[in-house]
Amino acid sequence: MEKESAGRVVIGVIGDDIHVVGNRIMQLALEESGFQVFNLRTRNRPEHFCQAALEVNADAVFVSSLNGEGEYWCADFRRQFAAVGLGHTLLYVGGNVVVGKRAMADVVSLFTGYGFDRVYHQQPDIGVAIADLLEDLKRGQAKA
């Protein structure tokens, strides 16, 4: 008998970023935690994430950026998801999402202002994001 999935998650790297190692580690960690993962890999635009989430009926989307391009590419993320009926999808962003040294509170405020549910700027422990995702899904924050 096949084990029930903890949920469907789209992951990928935003912009012209080609840092694939963290993306692959995230995929493996999510799969080990029971999630079905749809990995877009590198060099994605917001519409790629939106289309993939729509196609697979994703519970959550994890966007990563190591080169700091997240600040530019993620500004309109939630609006694009809402425009296609995915306003309920959990949105997470992590990596090194801005260029330059900034206070963590400022980075979190910026990305929550963009509509992201959780922000993991320079968070080295992937387990924190996975635990948050499991908790968010348990509390019913995804798919009402």
Tell me which residues are annotated as active site: 17, 19
Q: Compute the distance between CA of residue 143 and CA of residue 90 in angstroms, rounded to an integer.
A: 9
Listed residue (81, 86, 119, 79) closest to 103, CA to CA? 119
Coil/strand/helix, residue 137 = helix
Q: Please give the span between the terminal C-alpha atoms of the chain, in angstroms, as a whole number.
A: 28
For residue 64, list its beta bridge partners.
13, 94
